[in-house]
Amino acid sequence: MVAEYIYAGIFAVLLGFCLLYRSQGKKNSVKERGSTKIGNESVKNTSNGECWWNNGEHADVIVVGAGVAGAALAHTLGQDGRRVHVIERDLTEPDRIVGELLQPGGYLKLIELGLEDCVKEIDAQQVFGYALYMDGKNTKLTYPLEKFSSDVSGRSFHNGRFVQRMRNKAAAHPNVRLEQGTVTSLLEENGTINGVAYKSKTGEELKAYAPLTIVCDGCFSNLRRSLCDPKVEVPSCFVGLILENCRLPHANHGHVILADPSPILFYPISSSEIRCLVDVPGQKVPSISNGEMANYLKTVVAPQIPTELYDAFIATIDKGGIRTMPNRSMPAAPHPTPGALLMGDAFNMRHPLTGGGMTVALSDVVVLRNLLKHLQDLNDASSLCKYLESFYTLRKPVASTINTLAGALYKVFCASSDQAKNEMRQACFDYLSLGGVFSTGPVALLSGLNPRPLSLVLHFFAVAIYGVGRLLFPFPSLKRFWMGSRLISVASGIIFPIIKAEGVRQMFFPATVPAYYRAPPLK
């Protein structure tokens, strides 16, 4: 009996050593091959620098960049069963002075994508409209939200907190691998993009392959040139500050001051902080280091802001922490390329005055998701490229409305030495102050709730005609007739070039574009 216990003990010890050896061998094997566990799957970096999923296949989609567009897209495609490899240059929390206001139309897209919880637990503030200030007068413009639940509104927040929530949501999905790395180039073979070359966080040079690569690497994209014809304009710069220990005159509203020379914005980004963005026309701003900026803000800007914010504004300037960022505008001008697609700010930008960038990006994600849902196989690059040409047309109602409005409003809201332009500016303020459809119509366009380019054009010229009426009433004269005709000319000169850049046919007659009817490949 004792011998049996001794033999059993020896057997147990030997079995334990075998299991320990096997376990250690597996750990070493995993370490050598660079495997990273992602949910229920793992991705391996093989000895030749290629990334594979644990079933020996490549990812279905590579997403370059994990900002708002990239993170939302990764989560959405992962939900649809795609294996998504996301490569982001820097996974630390972003610290930006824009991308802090999500319009109600964008929040509805967030709900549609199942990402609405990303605005929770970040001290986000509900936004219900705007307060517009000009020459000592102000008017309140409210989002037309009567048809929606009480949860639907705009949201304002720290951009970095929102982006990190989106990244965490995407990375938690078993079909998504989120990796820190810098994409150096697209891999091309016979005119088809089949992946990317990148450097990992440790500096290792790697390659990742997938039948579809989606580039969402932001406004500073170094990959867009091979996928579109970038015509980037920098009409102005934002000077950003954060005001503390003060309250906005109109709670839960963005504030737009039609100042001289250009607009000033205020909106809450937490329960105790207010973001101030001062627009400075051109690409050159006063120097922060030698005190020119502080002097400019105190002498030129401060006298034009609401008195309720004056003390906090001056205190913030004295405290420091002034930041600047160029405002970029770039119409979408894609080169349909087999195996690749551009999205987000890498693809299309507009002046951030109206806070429409995230709404356009999330709308684009919804459009692309709906297109790809019909496809089981993404490997036929040429057929997929032809099919996805419809993306550029289907995105137009939302994108072109917001883009055109942003560009037009910025030009209208800036002060000018041209009397006709100033008449247009005054007409716009007075038109919006009328209330009713005269305010809810433009605000519905701005908020992404009414993505109809034709409505935008009608309201824009209604403002111009209203301005002419103001000039002619009650005593018309030849001088006033001349100024009225110049006002119409100014309005046309503002909006028509923007419409031309967006594409007249795609904006107003999308059903005439052949790609509009493009059916998914049969394969």
- Per-residue model confidence as pLDDT tens digits over 340-352: 999 999 999 999 9
Residue 3 confidence class, pLDDT cut points 50, 70, 90: very low
* Average pLDDT over every residue of 197-207: 95
Across all residues in the chain, what is the average pLDDT?
90
pLDDT at site 31 = 32
Question: Between these two residues, 58 and 181, which has the higher pLDDT value?
Answer: 181
pLDDT at site 44 = 55
23 pLDDT above the threshold of 70: no
d(CA 73, CA 75): 6
Question: Between these two residues, 348 and 26, which has the higher pLDDT value?
Answer: 348
* Average pLDDT over every residue of 17-46: 39
Residue 261 tokens, joined: 């020379």
512 pLDDT above the threshold of 70: yes
| Residues sharing a CB contact under 8 Å with residue 238, sequence separation 6 or more, in sequence order | 97, 98, 277, 278, 279, 280, 324, 325, 327, 352
Residue 116 tokens, joined: 């609405």
pLDDT at site 57 = 73
Residue 187 tokens, joined: 């891999």
500 pLDDT above the threshold of 50: yes
Q: What single string gives the DSSP state of each residue in 28-71?
A: HHHHHHT-EEETTEEEEE-TTSBEEETTS---SEEEE--SHHHH
Q: Are 402 and 359 in contact (CB under 8 A)?
A: yes
Q: What share of the chain is helix, strand, coil (3-state, %, to 5)?
A: 45, 25, 35
Residue 6 confidence class, pLDDT cut points 50, 70, 90: very low
pLDDT at site 103 = 98
Q: How far is CA 419 from CA 218, 258, 308, 415, 466, in A?
A: 38, 16, 31, 10, 16
pLDDT digits (tens, 9 = 90+) for 473-484: 888 999 999 999
Q: Are 59 and 85 in contact (CB under 8 A)?
A: yes
pLDDT at site 46 = 52
Region of residue 406 (left: phi > 0; alpha: psi -120 to 50; beta: else): alpha
414 pLDDT above the threshold of 60: yes
* Average pLDDT over every residue of 266-291: 96
Sheet containing 154-156: give its strands across.
101-102, 154-156, 125-127
pLDDT at site 75 = 98
116 pLDDT above the threshold of 70: yes
Q: Which amino acid is at 385?
A: C
Of the candidates 263, 268, 242, the residue with the CA atom closest to the CA atom of residue 253: 268
- This prediction has a pTM of 0.89
Residue 138 is inside which H or E element, if any? strand 137-142
The per-residue b/e assignment along 367-406, b for 16 or more CB within 10 angstroms, e otherwise, is bbbebbeebeebebbebbbebbbbbbbbbbbbbbbbbbbb
Residue 521 confidence class, pLDDT cut points 50, 70, 90: confident
24 pLDDT above the threshold of 50: no
* Average pLDDT over every residue of 383-397: 95
pLDDT at site 35 = 34
pLDDT at site 52 = 62
Instruction: Kindly state the DSSP code that residue 94 receives in the 8-state scheme.
Output: P
Least confident of 118-132, 262-276, 506-520: 506-520
pLDDT at site 475 = 87
- Helix/strand/coil for 180: strand
